[in-house]
Amino acid sequence: MSRDNILHKVRTALGRSAGQAVADVPPVRLRVPEAAMEDRIALMRSRVEALAGKAVRVPTMDAACEFVAAAIAGKTAVASNAPYLEECGIARLPGVRTGIREVGELTAVCAQVDIGITSADYALSDTGTLVMIAGPAESRLVSLLPPAHIAVVPRERILTGLDELFTILPNPAAQTSSMVLITGPSRTADIEQILVRGVHGPGQVTVVIVG
């Protein structure tokens, strides 16, 4: 269609020829500050709470499992295929559907249950963000369709911020077709600038920091 025509117009306007080399990209300095683990955890918790999310810290994987069990008591839940949830015993809790590998089934279950449980590949403490990389372990819909989202994150996955994320993961596309940063509950202010949570995504986000 218009491909060659548009590229030709661009080159003519810029005075470039096809395949002409480009100068180096301006440098972007990524700063990874020194931050003790305890400080990262404290900042992560305060940022999540500031967004009206919930942040709890538990000492062990067993304690994480207990916390999640209490949170889903009487409700239905779906858990992602993250090995960490399996290791915590969360995947085996009663009322939790897990191990789904077929998209139709996953969509139907996620659209029905009360809670979606995931781990997270990383967390960013200076913004209170969860980093979800789609793959065999994590899907897109578990953290999206149910009205509540619980993420169970071992503390060593807490990074300082975006700069550290892109330092250790300069090329996310090589790993996944979908990397999503989640910063707090779904929200809108489209009617009279009044904040309403839980528009399309989960209105409740709970981050469980383990360790």
Please list every residue from 105 through 134 that binds other proteins, using CB under 8 A: 106-107, 111, 126-129, 134
Contact set for other proteins, span 71-110 (CB under 8 A): 81, 100-103, 106-107
- Taking contact as CB under 8 A, which single stretch among the options 37-45, 68-76, 151-159, 163-171 is the one that binds other proteins? 163-171
Which of 54, 57, 157, 187 forms a contact with other proteins (CB under 8 A)? 187
Closest by Cα among 165, 163, 205, 161 to 182: 205
User: 91 near 79, Cβ under 8 Å?
Assistant: yes
Residue 70 or 195 with smaller CB distance to other proteins: 195
Considering the rule CB under 8 A, would residue 185 count as an interface residue with other proteins?
Answer: yes
Considering the rule CB under 8 A, would residue 188 count as an interface residue with other proteins?
Answer: yes
Give the C-alpha separation, 51 to 90, whole Å.
Answer: 26
Q: Which residue has the tokens 């839940």?
A: 77
Min CB(39)–other proteins separation in Å = 17
Min CB(70)–other proteins separation in Å = 26
Considering the rule CB under 8 A, would residue 171 count as an interface residue with other proteins?
Answer: yes
Closest by Cα among 124, 117, 131 to 204: 117
What residues pair up with 131 in beta bridges, in sequence order?
122, 181
Considering the rule CB under 8 A, would residue 189 count as an interface residue with other proteins?
Answer: yes
Considering the rule CB under 8 A, would residue 66 count as an interface residue with other proteins?
Answer: no
Dihedral sign for Cα atoms in the order 90, 95, 98, 104: negative
Sorted by sequence, the CB contacts under 8 Å of residue 155 that are 6+ apart come out as: 37, 40, 41, 209, 210, 211
Considering the rule CB under 8 A, would residue 154 count as an interface residue with other proteins?
Answer: no
Min CB(79)–other proteins separation in Å = 12
